[in-house]
Amino acid sequence: MTNEEFIVTKKNPVSYICQMQFRKSRYTKAQNGWAFYDWANSVYSLVIATAVFPIYFEAVTPESLSLFGRDFANTALYSYSLSASFLIVAAISPLLSGLADHTGNKKGFMKFFCYLGATACFSLAFFTGNQSIWYAIIASMLASIGFWGSIVFYNAYLPEIAPQEHHDALSAKGFAWGYIGGALLLILNLVMIEMPEAFGLKDAGAASRISFATVGIWWASFAQVTFSRLPGRKGEKVGTKGYLWTGYQRLNRVWGIIKRAPHLNWFLAAFFAFSMGVQTVILMASLYGSKQLGLSADKLIMTILIIQFVAIAGAFLFAYLSKIWGNLQSLMIAVVIWGLVCIAAYLMNPDDPRVLIQFFVLGGVVGLVMGGIQSLARSTYSKMLPETVNTASFFSFYDVTEKIAIVFGTLFFGLAIQIYDGDMRQAALLLAVFFVISILLMLYLLFKVKPQKTFVSLKGRS
């Protein structure tokens, strides 16, 4: 199959049908089901990846852990374990997503990773401390692989179920539902941790472990709504020979297409740069608050809740701004704010009596741009794609780019912690460099790269 055959050059019938459905109702059953998966899976990213588990891990493990004859700060080792999980996802997602395109079975692969992640989250309930550190690291890695692996196929559904002009709004709706769902479970978990006796639990540690189990149950249960509404098989049937390499062959074709599309080249480079900073900040924020600023677990969880609710407004705010100013201009605003967040985190002094208020305010700012940058990045990329039924392969490239960025970001952060003897302030400041690089790349994309037909819609109202 040639690159030209790989692209559907005629009007995409799926897009046409979606447009007709949008005229009948604001969102179709499949679109609502797609967005609802954010409600199901965001409890992982909030409770496990961001809020409760990192704080619990830091609390029940010694400050220094030995690995291969070397001592590592527990926060650095945790950061490295995240790097490893994202590296695994980056390595296997091209194969799986290409195979999903070839067999038309995106939903099947999405289910597998969903259940892998949910089961791993549930198993973290058995992590009690020093005697099970490696068990916890492996389980948290599997949970990360399950979450991000399922997101590859989830994102690939967007151009299949909705026309291009609705990608911003539907993407924002998904993130908004995810923030609400994740916040609801986190509130329940916070109440359990603060008042364990009311739930018949021994202490806050036991409540934390129960919260890990609730994530697995929530994720797998609510995902059934999505699986019941998303379309089934669509695509080619894979042959019996060479199917293991289908994903990489298709990814290579996608790379051939991207190399001839400067707007995709420069956007993915900018996306890579700001993803190194954004995802590392999200993943390490609670550890920064607990270890660097000395904030208690309940204060940190309250800050994360503030972030979630502000992020709902942020997702829709930036979707609105994209209609007025354009996607790239709105993304640049978000990236500038992210860079300022890193500088503000560096300037925070744990001895300042106002540090808690400062952390709350900073959390609110993070929430505002977190929803905006994630939602806009996904929808902007979907707008840039050529019309094709092989969306999983294109989104595989997008997801691999993000995962490798997170590998470098978390690895960089962990190394900075080691170099500066556990001081996370310097690591936070260095993350600002990635946002500066991203801004420069997007400025070049906006003013130097000649817009193509597929790029027009990125300029604002069309």
Reported as a single tens digit per residue, the pLDDT across 354-370 is 888 998 899 889 888 88
Amino acid at 132: S
Mean pLDDT of 181-203: 90
Nearest to 361 by CA among 379, 376, 340, 381: 340
Assess contact for 253 and 102: CB atoms under 8 A.
Answer: no
Q: Phi/psi at 344 (nearest 5 deg)? A: -65, -40
CA distances from 172 to 190, 276, 318, 375, 424 (A): 26, 21, 9, 5, 32
Average pLDDT taken over every residue of the chain: 81
Percentage of the residues of the chain whose pLDDT score is greater than 70? 84
pLDDT tier for residue 335 given thresholds of 50, 70 and 90: very high
Say how far apart CA 135 and CA 273 lie, in whole Å.
32
For residue 20, the model assigns a pLDDT of 38
For residue 392, the model assigns a pLDDT of 63
pLDDT tier for residue 269 given thresholds of 50, 70 and 90: very high
Say how far apart CA 440 and CA 452 lie, in whole Å.
20
In the chain, how many H helices and how many E strands? Answer: 17, 2
Query: Angle between the 355-384 and 327-347 helix axes, to the nearest 10 degrees?
Result: 150
Residue 89: is its pLDDT beyond 90?
no
Q: What share of the chain is helix, strand, coil (3-state, %, to 5)?
A: 80, 0, 15
For residue 450, the model assigns a pLDDT of 54
For residue 72, list its beta bridge partners.
65
pLDDT tier for residue 13 given thresholds of 50, 70 and 90: very low
Mean pLDDT of 57-66: 81
Structure tokens at 346: 């560096």
Domains, the chain, ordered by start: 33-232+242-459 (1.20.1250.20)
Secondary element (H or E) of residue 67: strand 64-67
Cβ atoms < 10 Å from Cβ of 321: 20
Nearest to 89 by CA among 430, 413, 399: 399
Q: Give the number of residues written for the chain.
A: 462
Say how far apart CA 133 and CA 135 lie, in whole Å.
5
Q: Is the pTM of this model over 0.85?
A: no
Say how far apart CA 118 and CA 220 lie, in whole Å.
6
Mean pLDDT of 298-312: 80
> What is the per-residue pLDDT across 229-246, written as a single tens digit (0 to 9) for each?
988 766 555 455 555 566
> What is the per-residue pLDDT across 405-439, written as a single tens digit (0 to 9) for each?
988 988 888 888 888 877 788 888 889 999 999 99
DSSP letters for 215-281: HHHHHHHHHHHHHHHS----SPPP-SSSGGGHHHHHHHHHHHHHHT-HHHHHHHHHHHHHHHHHHHH
In the three-class reduction of DSSP (H, G, I as helix; E, B as strand; rest coil), residue 72 is classed as: strand
Pick the most confident of 87-101, 149-163, 200-214, 310-324: 200-214
Residue 110: is its pLDDT beyond 70?
yes
Find the DSSP H helices in 348-451: 355-384, 391-419, 424-447
